[in-house]
Structure 1
């Protein structure tokens, strides 16, 4: 199993990316990690004793966070992200992980790696914690701003395969993000998608309102990219705000500091539950390879978890299951 690593992508590249890759290489001897990027910088970060399952492919360019995605992918042909994507396309790597420019990664996935046959539009999936302690896979969170009903059906089909294999959920509950729980609610898109999802070869549990989404009502939450991305950013912003306000309260006086000390273990567990580093990256489902988007500000642990996710994706043959499910009835919905 060979996974290409965009060593130059992300806010903390290449230091944290290389550190996370070294940790993953030592933890997973069955995986060869190919660090793609500036060889001098990578070696400076990695030190002298590289694990035997680490390779380096030198590139001279990198895609910056502010670069326009399509132009960057087309013009920066020797960038770490583009070269990693080309390796997946050419069969030199089975998958890739990048913490770089999200739009550019989606563009590279589409234009270079290509789509799974039968999937009209790939979707970016994100793993969210729920109040019940379980994980919820939400898609699309930004790959496509516009969607049709059959696209939402395909999102559910792909997410069902991913949740079964990577998240080890035997019978994932599939929900449709909507403004009401009753069938027939919502706009034209949701009304058309509901019967398709209801007839799908997965466990559809109906509409899920946004206020109920974090209460362990489903294992997979299906949305169009515009709605899903807005919900993702709202939850991220609210979470950061909550932790910020709690910090102000607990550091207000000597008495509140004592209270914080007494609650330290519980607060640490609560914060860990909502820490993106614990969940790895976001798979770009529908691309013909394991393409994982790590958080842009990933530290070494977060990036190692993203590699863990790519490894589980490949070991479980998620793409094979998606293709099987499509041939068993998915394509006729398109």
Structure 2
């Protein structure tokens, strides 16, 4: 059973219920957490989705998420994580306020032994056709070198368990490959990462990382979050320019028609709604953080992603890796 915060997200609760219904039709069990009076009319006829009633939620614009999740009565995201902690759900999914989701997960689930800072972790496509695990993408804006070493261990364990990469190559994001490159934190983190026993390939630049130079890319949350948003913005700009050029020229429109199958495959590989969201890695449970703008397809993908992480024994894998490292 996957607990889904049905009240979190820009398009909640409609997209949450629709996404849950897609996941249920695919054979998964989903528990909706939210205002039953609002959720029940949205559940499609013939689809069995239980509802755990919770009338309150954390607003997307909440500026004090830690206080919000401690409020009484508890908001939907806090109840979602509590259900996971109590063993009534195998994993929790929320597309709501990221800070509130992190706070609720930490309060209810706690950290795994040896983990000082959980990390937001995401898998993105690489240019060589493979995939790249990136962490941290925003959970921690001020990391110590030791935290980066822990991220390396957790990211490597995730990549082995869930992505089935036997010996993941771990790179430390920097502005050059030489050992002396990077700021003081990166320079101090290198030897610590190497000492953990992961397959450390050293400092790596973004071009090399996205080109296939590593399987796990480690960075602090401030840099990681900016990098992710820059990639998203660049993709949006390029898409806009391509569309403008196609519409401006008749010959380009004809060429685009011929390229439709290839363009469709590119969209499928890069579409955020198919990536499944991000993981909060390092807490004692499976927690998937979906994008705030998630539609029904993205919600369904996030639920499937959470179920897959449970099936692959992600939490035990990270626990074992931290104990060994």
TM-score strictly above 0.5 = yes
5+ residue gaps in structure 1?
Answer: none
Residue 280 (1) aligns with residue 276 (2): yes
| TM-score, with length taken from structure 1 | 0.93
Deviation (angstroms), 1:76 = 5.5
Match of 1:322 among 312, 318, 322: 318
RMSD between aligned residues: 1.4
Residue 164 (1) aligns with residue 160 (2): yes
Deviation (angstroms), 1:210 = 2.3
Counterpart of 2:60 in structure 1 is 65
Q: How does 1:15-26 map to 2 (within 5 A)?
A: 15-26=14-25
SS, match of residue 75 in structure 1: coil
Distance 1:97 1:187, change over 3 A: same
Counterpart of 1:120 in structure 2 is 116
Deviation (angstroms), 1:267 = 1.6
Question: Structure 1 CA distance, aligned partners of 2:244 and 2:123?
Answer: 28
Question: Structure 2 CA distance, aligned partners of 1:277 and 1:216?
Answer: 23
Deviation (angstroms), 1:46 = 1.1
Question: Structure 2 CA distance, aligned partners of 1:163 and 1:301?
Answer: 24
Residue 228 (1) aligns with residue 224 (2): yes
User: Is the Cα contact below 8 Å between 1:61 and 1:76 reproduced in 2?
Assistant: no
Counterpart of 1:263 in structure 2 is 259
Deviation (angstroms), 1:40 = 2.4
- The Cα offsets for residues 134-178 of structure 1, whole Å up to 9 and x where unpaired, read as 111100000010111111111111111111121222221111001
Counterpart of 1:152 in structure 2 is 148
Deviation (angstroms), 1:327 = 1.9
- The Cα offsets for residues 94-147 of structure 1, whole Å up to 9 and x where unpaired, read as 210011111111111122321112100000011111111111110000001011
| TM-score, with length taken from structure 2 | 0.95
- The Cα offsets for residues 211-233 of structure 1, whole Å up to 9 and x where unpaired, read as 32321111110000111111011
Distance 1:76 1:130, change over 3 A: farther
Question: Structure 1 CA distance, aligned partners of 2:53 and 2:60?
Answer: 20
Question: Structure 1 CA distance, aligned partners of 2:286 and 2:175?
Answer: 33
Question: Structure 2 CA distance, aligned partners of 1:154 and 1:309?
Answer: 23
- The Cα offsets for residues 66-90 of structure 1, whole Å up to 9 and x where unpaired, read as 0121222122643211110111222
Counterpart of 2:209 in structure 1 is 213
SS, match of residue 213 in structure 2: coil
Question: Structure 2 CA distance, aligned partners of 1:306 and 1:87?
Answer: 18
Counterpart of 2:11 in structure 1 is 12
User: Is the Cα contact below 8 Å between 1:36 and 1:83 reproduced in 2?
Assistant: yes
- The Cα offsets for residues 176-213 of structure 1, whole Å up to 9 and x where unpaired, read as 00111012321111111101212222211111112323
Question: Structure 2 CA distance, aligned partners of 1:39 and 1:67?
Answer: 23
Q: How does 1:7-86 map to 2 (within 5 A)?
A: 7-28=6-27, 31-51=28-48, 54-68=49-63, 69-75=65-71, 77-86=73-82
Counterpart of 2:245 in structure 1 is 249
Question: Structure 2 CA distance, aligned partners of 1:116 and 1:173?
Answer: 23
Shifted more, 134-143 versus 15-24: the winner is: 15-24
Question: Structure 2 CA distance, aligned partners of 1:226 and 1:60?
Answer: 34
SS, match of residue 210 in structure 2: coil
5+ residue gaps in structure 2?
Answer: none
Figure out how many residues of one structure are paired with residues of the other and give that number. Answer: 324
Question: Structure 1 CA distance, aligned partners of 2:15 and 2:77?
Answer: 16
